[in-house]
Structure 1
Amino acid sequence: MTTSTILITGAAGWLGGLLSDALIADARTPNVRFILADIVEPKAPKNVEAVTIKADLTAKDPIDALFNTKLGIPDTIYCLHGIMSRGSEDNFDLGLKVNVDSIRLMLQAAREYGPKADAPIKFVFTSSLAVYGGPLPHVVTPDTIATPEGAYGMGKLTSELLVNEFSRRGFIDGRIIRLPTIVVRPGVPSAATSAFISGVIREPLKGIESLCPIGNSIDDPALELPSWVASPETTIKNFVQAMHVPGDKFLKHTRVVCLPGFTATVRDELEALEKVGGKKALDLVKFKDDPINRRIVSSWPPRFDNTYPLSLGFHVDEGGMEPIVRQFQKDIEAGIA
């Protein structure tokens, strides 16, 4: 039976844990085993072979070590690690170090060790719709030019160009997935500029106050701010699908795929929150407009053409915000959110 050896960086994060479980459950990846790395040691999944590594991935030697474990050279890499959007904006140098320099070192390692494998290493890089900015069409298509207006988007776009070039030269088999804003994220708020998009649902459903940085009241027109979103469940399905798309199915000039999503305004979220959690939950949302947050989020496009990613087998949510909020409520009740 063929063995799949998968390296996941950023594996200690929430998405990293969900991804390893999804890959184990995926019938297309039999006999899977993992090399899991992060700045804190990841937790190994049960009943599969795994190596867990605590490492600073901004230096060459720790990255080289990922390719020299007892499991040998990975055939697939999921490059998930990074400094989130507001963190990159507030600490520009750290953002460059983690979101650009570290990715370049990962690519160079995949290039160096790839010839020792049977085929170029598949390199799945998670990017973001933060690569967009400036004047945009009403609906973003694969032809829309990315011009970021924040440090996070700049770092992601820079690394995208590297992944494309390394793929063009045959050093790796890259696939770049630009993620929608994932809602609802469990756990504590992250340093992402978009963290409030989950926070205005997550905390109120747990009986905790949440601060919305868009607008100053429930009646503020600023709440019509739209975002491009997807559920965690659908996003993880698409992570798995990314490694299974044949390389020759991507567009010739780029390995970028904007993952499918749908448009939801802040008001759409709050209306779904009230339907699921009642007025008691809605009243826990407080408002204090943050111009920096609003500027960054407003620069991201809220509408995309899903035609291309759906043609590659990626998935999309159906039914808008309410089913997602109801699922999160069920996760809270089950003790898994």
Structure 2
Amino acid sequence: MSNNNNVVLITGAAGWLGSLLARTILEDPKSPNLYLILADILKPEAPRGTRAITIKADLTDKTQVNTLFETDFGVPDTVYCLHGIMSRGSEDNFDLGLKVNVDAVRLVLDAARHQGASAGRLIRFIFASSLAVYGGPLPHVITPDTIASPEGAYGMGKLVSELLINEYTRRGFVDGRIMRLPTIVVRPGVPSAATSAFLSGIIREPLKGVETTCPIGNSLDSPELDLAAWLASPETTMKNFVIAKHIPSEKFRAHTRVVCLPGFTATVRDELWALEEVAGKEALRLVKFKDDPTNRRLVSSWPARFDNSYALSLGFVVDEGGMVPVVQRFKEKVQAGVA
């Protein structure tokens, strides 16, 4: 078994976020000679030319989780915990959401705790949380002191896991870093089960010449299109995940490892305007409307404005210029055949 101390485990590595992180972290100049352990319910694909072990694993099974820390690469120094059942999927199947979004996270946490102790190593545990932890009456701008009170099963599961990670960190079991992600746009690939998936779909599909449905409002004139969301691009999100690995522990607030990653505010209407500006009215005509009250309720419960100051003070970065540059970058990827 290797004694290498630059080993990164990514759970959920077969998903879009995990696979993108695996490719991005290989370009990190602060992580030379990187070894990757990539695990998911479906066997992930390793980036070409990398030192990687890919494992098909049921992360709700303790024995299978423990094997991720017992490969030939040795005990990882960093875990990116990215697996999960997305927001609409968690709402529709409550028990499965709990099993994957809470129980499986605790199994990975416990393995990091015990395997790290055996190796004499405090493992960095970087967790992908969500702004879905918020709900109820909220201030106009969310600050690090705003209380989280979710109004959906997905947000509840994320918040429970956050509390576990904070407690494991307080006790010195792991070195937790909890990243509350904005909604990421534009996601490539096919639509997901996330309630927020349409925020990418209304850009992605029209740029590919494909018709899509917006579940907010029933026409371009609907006032519901003024629904605002807190967004970040995939490129910026990946930069911030890599940055999270290198922040000194003492820089975090003493009582919590939660960080709301930087983002920007845009309405559904802003997105459609950006689509039209970048790709013209022909692309905009591919967006059809069919209001979905459940979808609208969940997305409306999430905050759309955050104070980025704390995250930026830690060294995280933010998108500049709003939606138009984000849409333009994705259009260029579509034209290059890489989206």
Q: TM-score range by the shorter chain?
A: over 0.9
Alpha-carbon distance, 1:119 to partner: 2.6
Alpha-carbon distance, 1:23 to partner: 1.2
Equivalent in the alignment of 1:98: 100
What is the letter of the counterpart of residue 307 of structure 2?
Answer: D
CA distance in 2, matches of 1:31, 1:46: 15
After superposition, what is the alpha-carbon deviation per residue over 1:240-289, rounded to whole angstroms, capped at 9, x for unaligned?
Answer: 01111111110001000000000000000000000111100000000010
Residues 187 and 204, structure 2, Cα contact 8 Å, conserved in 1: yes
Equivalent in the alignment of 1:4: 6
Please state whether the residue corresponding to 1:34 is helix, strand or coil: strand
Alpha-carbon distance, 1:186 to partner: 0.4
What is the letter of the counterpart of residue 299 of structure 1?
Answer: S
CA distance in 1, matches of 2:74, 2:121: 14
CA distance in 2, matches of 1:160, 1:71: 28
CA distance in 2, matches of 1:21, 1:292: 35
Alignment of 1:235-314 (within 5 A): 235-314=237-316
Alpha-carbon distance, 1:117 to partner: 2.7
CA distance in 2, matches of 1:2, 1:172: 19
Query: Percentage identity across aligned positions?
Result: 70
Alpha-carbon distance, 1:3 to partner: 4.4
Alpha-carbon distance, 1:2 to partner: 6.8
Alignment of 1:152-163 (within 5 A): 152-163=154-165
CA distance in 2, matches of 1:139, 1:96: 29
Residues 4 and 73, structure 2, Cα contact 8 Å, conserved in 1: no
What is the letter of the counterpart of residue 202 of structure 2?
Answer: V
Equivalent in the alignment of 2:58: 56
Equivalent in the alignment of 1:173: 175
Alignment of 1:1-337 (within 5 A): 3-337=5-339
Please state whether the residue corresponding to 1:87 is helix, strand or coil: helix
What is the letter of the counterpart of residue 278 of structure 2?
Answer: V
The alignment of Structure 1 onto Structure 2 pairs a total of residues equal to: 337
Residues 4 and 74, structure 2, Cα contact 8 Å, conserved in 1: no
Residues 129 and 153, structure 1, Cα contact 8 Å, conserved in 2: yes
Please state whether the residue corresponding to 1:26 is helix, strand or coil: coil
Residues 3 and 31, structure 1, Cα contact 8 Å, conserved in 2: no
Please state whether the residue corresponding to 2:30 is helix, strand or coil: coil
CA distance in 1, matches of 2:41, 2:235: 25
Alpha-carbon distance, 1:14 to partner: 1.2
Residues 5 and 77, structure 2, Cα contact 8 Å, conserved in 1: no
CA distance in 1, matches of 2:30, 2:43: 27
Alpha-carbon distance, 1:18 to partner: 1.4
CA distance in 1, matches of 2:179, 2:132: 12
After superposition, what is the alpha-carbon deviation per residue over 1:268-326, rounded to whole angstroms, capped at 9, x for unaligned?
Answer: 00000001111000000000100000000000000000000000000100000000000
Instruction: Report the TM-score when normalising by structure 2.
Output: 0.98
Instruction: Report the TM-score when normalising by structure 1.
Output: 0.99
Residues 213 and 288, structure 2, Cα contact 8 Å, conserved in 1: yes
Please state whether the residue corresponding to 1:275 is helix, strand or coil: helix
Please state whether the residue corresponding to 1:124 is helix, strand or coil: strand
Please state whether the residue corresponding to 2:195 is helix, strand or coil: coil
CA distance in 1, matches of 2:113, 2:27: 29
What is the letter of the counterpart of residue 58 of structure 1?
Answer: T
CA distance in 1, matches of 2:98, 2:326: 34
Alpha-carbon distance, 1:140 to partner: 0.2
Residues 3 and 30, structure 1, Cα contact 8 Å, conserved in 2: no
What is the letter of the counterpart of residue 84 of structure 1?
Answer: M
Runs of 4+ in 1 over 6 A off after TM superposition: none
Please state whether the residue corresponding to 1:336 is helix, strand or coil: coil
